[in-house]
Amino acid sequence: MAGPAGRLDAVLVCGGRWHDFDHARLRLLELLGEHPRVRTTVHQDYDCPDALDRADLLVTYTCDVRPRPAQRAALARLVERGGRWLALHGTNAVIEPSTHGGTREFTTPRLLGELAQVLGSQFLAHPPIAPYEVRVTDPGHPLVAGIGPFTVTDELYVCELHGELEVLLHAEYTGPCRGFAEGATAALDRAPRPVLYLKRHGLGEVCYFTLGHCRGRYDMQDLGVADTGRVDRGPWQTPEFLTVLRRCVERTVSGRSPAQQRAGA
C-alpha cells in the first residue's frame, strides 16, 4: 500500500476529554518520527475523510470522540482494505457524565455502532486509578517477547469484547467500578481483562493497547475541577509500556512484527 519511493501516509487522531492530549500527541509523533518513510497528518477527531481514505496506517489516542456514521464507515474501510490501526487507551470509550442527587455517575452508551466490532471492544468502566499488575498472555509473541509481568499506574479497563481477539497482555480484576452506571456488574466475572490485543478485520489489523492514561492539571475543568493540582504521567514513565508501545508503532508502520522486520521477512 506504500506510495512512491515507499512513502507511508499516517493519520494521528488525538483529542477528546479528561486527558493530556498534548503530552500523548507529542510522544506518539516522536515514535512515528523514528520511521522516515512515514508522513503524518494530525487531527483532533475523525472529521478527516480524505486523509483516512489515503492512509496506510492510523494511530488514535482519544476519549469520548464519537465518529459519525460516515466516519465510522471510513475507519472500517481503512482496515478492510489492508490498513493498520493502532488504537490506544480511550479510543473505544463513549462516556456520558450525569448527576443524580449530587452524585456523578458515568454511563457508557453503545454509540460506536459497527466500529466496536472493528476495534474488538468497547469501554464500560474502570476501578479507581491505582497501580496494578499487567501479565503476559503470550510470551512467545514478538510484541511482548522478553517482557515479564510489570506494575503500572493506569486505568484498568473493563470492556465489552467483540469478535476473536489475539490477547498478548492482560490484567486481572474482579470487583466494583464505582462511579460508572454498569460498574456494579461489569467487573464481576473472573475473565482476564485484555490490555494488549490484535484483531483482524478484512485485509487489515487493529492493534489495541488500553494503557496510556495521562492527565494535566487543567484537563478536568468541564467536570468543575479548575486545577487538579497534579500532573499524571501514568504508564508513560513505565519502561515496559514504552518498549511495547514502540514495538506496536513499528508493527503498525511495517505491517510486520519487529522480529520479521529484523529478519528481513
Q: Which fold has domain 4-263?
A: Rossmann fold (3.40.50)
The confidence score (pLDDT) of residue 12 equals 98
The confidence score (pLDDT) of residue 98 equals 83
The residue ranges of the chain whose pLDDT is under 50 are 257-265
Span 26-85, pLDDT tens digits: 999 999 999 999 999 999 999 999 999 999 999 999 999 999 999 999 999 999 999 999
- Rounded (5°) CA angle 9-69-158: 85
Query: Residue 184 carries which side chain, given as an amino acid letter?
Result: A
* 108 vs 74: CA distance, rounded Å: 23
The confidence score (pLDDT) of residue 265 equals 37
* 55 vs 53: CA distance, rounded Å: 6
- Rounded (5°) CA angle 180-187-90: 60
Q: Hey, where are the domains in the chain? A: 4-263
The residue whose grid cell reads 508513560 is 236
pTM of the model: 0.94
The confidence score (pLDDT) of residue 258 equals 42
* 211 vs 222: CA distance, rounded Å: 23
Given CA atoms 144, 150, 155, 158 in this order, what sign does their dihedral have?
Answer: positive
**CB neighbourhood size of 93 (10 A):** 26
The confidence score (pLDDT) of residue 188 equals 83
For 95, residues 6+ apart whose C-beta sits below 8 A from its C-beta are 17, 63, 64, 106, 107, 108, 123
> Per the structure block, which three cell numbers stand in for 69?
456514521
* 9 vs 84: CA distance, rounded Å: 11
Contact criterion met (CB below 8 Å) for 144 and 243: no
The confidence score (pLDDT) of residue 187 equals 79
